[in-house]
A and B are shown apart, each in its own frame.
Chain A
Amino acid sequence: MGRAITFRSVAEMPPLAISLDDISHNKTGSWRYLRPVYRNKIPPCRAGCPAGNDIPRWLALVAEGRLTEAWKTIRENNPFPGITGRVCAHPCEAYCNRKEFDEPIAIAALERHVADEAFALHDEPPSGERRREKIAIVGSGPAGLSCAYFLAKQNYPVTIYEAESQPGGMLRLGIPSYRLPRDVIDKEIDDIVRLGVEIKTGYRVGRDIDLERLWASYDALFIATGAYRSRPLGIPGEELPGVLAGLDVLKAINTGRKISLGERVLVIGGGNTAMDAARTALRLGARVTVIYRRTRAEMPAIPEEIAQAEAEGVEFLFLAAPQKIERVHGRLRVHLIRMQLGEPDKSGRRRPVPLPNSEFVLEADALLKAIGEDPDLDFLAEELETSEGIVIHNERGRLSRAGIFLGGDARTGPSTVVEAIADGKAASKAIQRYLRSPSRTASALLPERFAPEKIKLNTSYFAHQARVPVLELPPEERQHGFAEVKAPLWLEDAIVEAQRCFSCGVCNACDNCRVFCPDVAISRVNGLYHVNLEYCKGCGICAAECPRGCIDLIEEGR
């Protein structure tokens, strides 16, 4: 630090105008009326992820080849990177700012890459003493497992009761192995078991064990029994042989049972179950047509799934709905009618209405219903008011009886894996709040969603670069078996792809602020930046040149 120099007499002065110290006694911070403040923001990908996956943070680690750390970082918010890396609808990619610039980051493929690379890794069991309060979870689908994972990390003893003989719920029963190989499910459930979670399979609550007994033995319950009850079509002939629930077919195949559907299969519905059922039927040797009452644009299935189904040879018939099924000479005669789109309904999609005098008939060996599923909560003592399967009078997930929480598809109706994970995580927090203060109603289950923030990017520092392609098994090879469709990334590709991340709103120590400070007022300590307010003149260059909008300028004196 320079001194301020005062000459009291000429005798103290040098004979010529020569500097005796640097200028740093001059505190130019007093010139400033705008102050730069480092503030990381919630990037749109993270805001778009129900589980709140801290995507830029782990992408930065991947970019440096630090995959183990990346895996650990993902698992702070998501216990199943191997699963979500494969089957997540990845809304994160739809929100990715990079899509305006060239193409979004292949977040899902990178997540899978991280999980694949970490296949031999497992969490350390949590240190510290186990807590006394015991928690029971009913259902071992993604919601139940997620809740168990987050509680186990906090040293709670957790027991999961699973009706089926294997844990996993819809992950195992509903999702075909060509999308999600079984060893990935096994591995990621095993990771949770290793944390000390006990999974009791073959216990169906209401049949094998009474809810009241569970309630008596545990300090809190989380009910995550999913949504398995297929919705009826509500048309004549629905009970005929050959008319099956798509989900039942998936369950049968996924649990290793042999099943024959015949040569010609119709699938009714446009969601993910419909796609999975259709592609499974295709792999069993059938010619498959998906019939959907709206158009392709309104299909709720993940677009990628639709594209894959189409590539594999699944046919689509849009704007049609079944009206009646008959069985003639051992085959089904399905009477259909053309539809057209009318006024938007509650969901905002245009309501399909029948087009008069447009009836037609298709024949098939089997018809698979896949128009949605509802939760089956008959085992609950309480009477629940439901509407289209969604609990409404307990919309925040807390049943009228304190200490029992409801989540996952059982709460929301059929939804995505990541929503279930998010629900399980929210439930774990609600349970902890409840256990700390049982009387408080604040223990309601509140799925956390990060609010997206306005982020001013400076894209001058980013180079255009195409997204890494994710290779798929050729369609002709897919039709004859259940091998995984999507290929993994090479490490080099993964690193290059992760380096494409803008890291929106998340400082990654790129140094621009320090490099461009005309007043040498920014320093870096342990990867963090510090503004020396004694000298910062508030020019704002650091904020303007931050590629990722991590610096705000705030008015002094505010």
Chain B
Amino acid sequence: MAIRTQSLHPHPSPLPTREREQSYSKVITGNHAVSYGALLARVQVISAYPITPQTQVVELLSEFCANGTLHAKFIKVESEHSAMAALIGAASAGARAFTATSAHGLALMHEMLHWAAGARLPIVMANINRAMGPPWSVWTDQNDSLSQRDTGWMQIYCESNQEVLDTVLQAYRVAERVSLPAMLVLDAFVLSHTAEAVEIPSQSLVDQYLPPYRAGYKLDVSDPHAFGGLAPPDVYMELRYQIQKAHEAALGEFARADEEFERLFGRRYGLIESYYADDAELIVVTSGTVTSTARDVIDELRAEGHRVGLLKIRLFRPFPIELVRQALMPAKKIAVIDRNIGFGVGGIFAQEIKSALYNAPVRPALFGFVAGLGGRDITPEVLREIVDYAETHQEPEDLIWVGVKT
């Protein structure tokens, strides 16, 4: 697998030769997969604030910085808001910037998330999906990341530790090409604290995939510009238009990044992933780790004769509307599983999919299920219950609570 290439990075990799030149397998948690991703991406500035269940990400990165494995500045700030602000400063000055957070930390960053996207900075952040308080909860659900839906960040929901590591690399590649920040999302504990074997790609191969960041515009004393000044009404809208255009361009960039990733590393994930969906009458729509459970349940149900398929939404922003339509239109019914709740409406993925299908020529009946909030397990039994409900009901339903003790 080792392909020797001339590194473009000005700073030679401090990794041992073996790790620099050869991929190897290691049993690590999802959090550490994030850290390895950041290490291999050769991030230059890290800034973060402790929060469960993210903390291990930055602990390992601190180790990497301290022992010289990673040539980066780690700014140990006094809040997540500051973490993002620090990265905005760093990225504006041309550095590859990284942080990780979760739940309240992400919520605190909210203002700066808008800022990073508006400033078109390719910052990458890992968000460990954790339920929002009160009441306090450290367990997983998606309300934290989905609350940031309209900040202009790209969002990628990961299913495995391998995908987590690989997504860090893909996220930088796309972010830097379209000048947008990217957030990869992984479920608290289910991924963050669960160890599995992960192939750590060689640094030289990653360098080939992800060249050093060259900012199109940056704070440069030899070419001084002001960044982010007041935009009057006659120009503001055009700047917002360009962010939307960048999101649209990111769809293609993600697809190409995925193809190139497969060429170099032998793995691909797609923007969405269909599983037995081509001839399915009912397609279950998932994101995150529920997908893995659902795959097993689909296998069982298929064996039992059900025409059931699965659609995994990996890329949430930009939302791959056309791919979702093509994947879902052949089905008669759709069961969307939301590990979140858009209060006053229903599951957020369900809303997105409904709106994607609204202008489609064919609109399957959609059942919106809300399940697994605050870390409650979504077991194979729960999934069977969901499939059964969708199969046995003819009229679509916007919001079906799963497992609520009534």
Direct chain A–B contact by Cβ atoms under 8 Å: yes
Q: Is A4 an interface residue (CB 8 A)?
A: no
**Which of A7, A13, A14, A18 has its CB near the most chain B CB atoms (within 10 A)?**
A18
Taking CB as reference atom, which chain B residue is nearest A9? B238
Check B238 against A17 for contact (C-beta < 8 Å). Answer: no
B287 to chain A, nearest CB (A): 29
Check B229 against A19 for contact (C-beta < 8 Å). Answer: yes
A14-B217, A15-B246, A16-B119 known; A7 vs B227 contact (CB < 8 Å): no
Q: Is A235 an interface residue (CB 8 A)?
A: no
A64 to chain B, nearest CB (A): 39
Check A16 against B228 for contact (C-beta < 8 Å). Answer: yes
A10-B241, A10-B242 known; A16 vs B120 contact (CB < 8 Å): yes
| Residues 99-145 (chain B) with a chain A CB within 8 angstroms | 118-120
Check B120 against A15 for contact (C-beta < 8 Å). Answer: yes
Check A13 against B238 for contact (C-beta < 8 Å). Answer: yes
Check A10 against B238 for contact (C-beta < 8 Å). Answer: yes
Considering the chains assembled together, what is the distance between the CA atoms of A16 and B226 in angstroms?
11
Check A13 against B228 for contact (C-beta < 8 Å). Answer: no
B241 to chain A, nearest CB (A): 6
B80 to chain A, nearest CB (A): 24
A238 to chain B, nearest CB (A): 92
A10-B238, A10-B242 known; A17 vs B231 contact (CB < 8 Å): yes
Check B242 against A17 for contact (C-beta < 8 Å). Answer: no
Check A7 against B231 for contact (C-beta < 8 Å). Answer: no
Check B229 against A17 for contact (C-beta < 8 Å). Answer: yes
In the assembled complex, which residues on chain A have CB atoms less than 8 Å from the CB atom of B229? 17, 19
Taking CB as reference atom, which chain A residue is nearest B246? A15
In the assembled complex, which residues on chain A have CB atoms less than 8 Å from the CB atom of B246? 15
Check A17 against B217 for contact (C-beta < 8 Å). Answer: no
Considering the chains assembled together, what is the distance between the CA atoms of A10 and B217 in angstroms?
18
In the assembled complex, which residues on chain B have CB atoms less than 8 Å from the CB atom of A7? 235, 238
B94 to chain A, nearest CB (A): 14
Considering the chains assembled together, what is the distance between the CA atoms of A46 and B179 in angstroms?
70
In the assembled complex, which residues on chain B have CB atoms less than 8 Å from the CB atom of A13? 235, 238-239, 242
A10-B241, A10-B242 known; A16 vs B235 contact (CB < 8 Å): no
Interface range for B: 10 to 19
Q: Is B225 an interface residue (CB 8 A)?
A: yes
Considering the chains assembled together, what is the distance between the CA atoms of A551 and B119 in angstroms?
46
Check B238 against A16 for contact (C-beta < 8 Å). Answer: no
Considering the chains assembled together, what is the distance between the CA atoms of A20 and B227 in angstroms?
10
In the assembled complex, which residues on chain B have CB atoms less than 8 Å from the CB atom of A15? 120, 179, 216, 239, 242, 246
B196 to chain A, nearest CB (A): 39
| Residues 216-261 (chain B) with a chain A CB within 8 angstroms | 216-217, 225-229, 231, 235, 238-239, 241-242, 246
In the assembled complex, which residues on chain B have CB atoms less than 8 Å from the CB atom of A20? 225
Check A18 against B239 for contact (C-beta < 8 Å). Answer: no
Per-position 1/0 for A338-378, Cβ under 8 A of B: 00000000000000000000000000000000000000000
Taking CB as reference atom, which chain A residue is nearest B243? A15
In the assembled complex, which residues on chain A have CB atoms less than 8 Å from the CB atom of B227? 16-19
In the assembled complex, which residues on chain B have CB atoms less than 8 Å from the CB atom of A19? 225-227, 229
Check A18 against B217 for contact (C-beta < 8 Å). Answer: yes
Per-position 1/0 for B335-357, Cβ under 8 A of A: 00000000000000000000000
**Which of A10, A16, A18 has its CB near the most chain B CB atoms (within 10 A)?**
A16
Considering the chains assembled together, what is the distance between the CA atoms of A16 and B238 in angstroms?
10
Q: Which residue of the partner chain, among B118, B225, B238, contacts A18 with CB atoms under 8 Å?
A: B225
Considering the chains assembled together, what is the distance between the CA atoms of A17 and B241 in angstroms?
13
Considering the chains assembled together, what is the distance between the CA atoms of A20 and B229 in angstroms?
11
Considering the chains assembled together, what is the distance between the CA atoms of A20 and B226 in angstroms?
8
Considering the chains assembled together, what is the distance between the CA atoms of A15 and B118 in angstroms?
10
B244 to chain A, nearest CB (A): 11
Check B226 against A18 for contact (C-beta < 8 Å). Answer: yes
Considering the chains assembled together, what is the distance between the CA atoms of A16 and B178 in angstroms?
12
B174 to chain A, nearest CB (A): 15
Taking CB as reference atom, which chain A residue is nearest B216? A15
Check A16 against B217 for contact (C-beta < 8 Å). Answer: yes
Considering the chains assembled together, what is the distance between the CA atoms of A14 and B241 in angstroms?
12
In the assembled complex, which residues on chain A have CB atoms less than 8 Å from the CB atom of B216? 15
In the assembled complex, which residues on chain A have CB atoms less than 8 Å from the CB atom of B241? 10
In the assembled complex, which residues on chain A have CB atoms less than 8 Å from the CB atom of B217? 14, 16, 18
Per-position 1/0 for B138-174, Cβ under 8 A of A: 0000000000000000000000000000000000000
Per-position 1/0 for A13-38, Cβ under 8 A of B: 11111111000000000000000000
Considering the chains assembled together, what is the distance between the CA atoms of A234 and B239 in angstroms?
104
In the assembled complex, which residues on chain A have CB atoms less than 8 Å from the CB atom of B179? 15-16
| Residues 36-77 (chain B) with a chain A CB within 8 angstroms | none
In the assembled complex, which residues on chain B have CB atoms less than 8 Å from the CB atom of A18? 217, 225-227
Taking CB as reference atom, which chain B residue is nearest A20? B225
A12 to chain B, nearest CB (A): 9
In the assembled complex, which residues on chain A have CB atoms less than 8 Å from the CB atom of B228? 16-17
| Residues 18-73 (chain A) with a chain B CB within 8 angstroms | 18-20
In the assembled complex, which residues on chain A have CB atoms less than 8 Å from the CB atom of B226? 18-19
Taking CB as reference atom, which chain A residue is nearest B228? A17
In the assembled complex, which residues on chain B have CB atoms less than 8 Å from the CB atom of A17? 118, 227-229, 231, 235, 239
In the assembled complex, which residues on chain A have CB atoms less than 8 Å from the CB atom of B242? 10, 13, 15-16
B223 to chain A, nearest CB (A): 11
Considering the chains assembled together, what is the distance between the CA atoms of A16 and B118 in angstroms?
7
Taking CB as reference atom, which chain A residue is nearest B229? A17
In the assembled complex, which residues on chain A have CB atoms less than 8 Å from the CB atom of B225? 18-20
In the assembled complex, which residues on chain A have CB atoms less than 8 Å from the CB atom of B238? 7, 10, 13
Considering the chains assembled together, what is the distance between the CA atoms of A10 and B242 in angstroms?
8
Considering the chains assembled together, what is the distance between the CA atoms of A531 and B253 in angstroms?
55
B221 to chain A, nearest CB (A): 14
B317 to chain A, nearest CB (A): 18
Per-position 1/0 for B80-112, Cβ under 8 A of A: 000000000000000000000000000000000
B176 to chain A, nearest CB (A): 13
Considering the chains assembled together, what is the distance between the CA atoms of A16 and B216 in angstroms?
11
Considering the chains assembled together, what is the distance between the CA atoms of A361 and B120 in angstroms?
109
Considering the chains assembled together, what is the distance between the CA atoms of A334 and B216 in angstroms?
108
Residues of B at under 8 Å CB distance from A?
118-120, 179, 216-217, 225-229, 231, 235, 238-239, 241-242, 246
Task: Please list the 3 inter-chain residue pairs (A to B) with the smallest Cβ-Cβ separation, ordered nearest first.
Answer: A19-B226, A16-B120, A10-B238
What 7 additional pairs, Cβ within 8 angstroms, besides A16-B118, A17-B235, A18-B226? A13-B239, A14-B217, A15-B242, A16-B242, A17-B227, A18-B227, A19-B225
Mind listing 28 A-B residue pairs with CB under 8 Å?
Answer: A7-B235, A7-B238, A10-B238, A13-B235, A13-B238, A13-B239, A15-B239, A15-B246, A16-B118, A16-B119, A16-B120, A16-B227, A16-B228, A16-B239, A16-B242, A17-B118, A17-B227, A17-B228, A17-B229, A17-B231, A17-B235, A18-B225, A18-B227, A19-B225, A19-B226, A19-B227, A19-B229, A20-B225
Residues of A at under 8 Å CB distance from B?
7, 10, 13-20
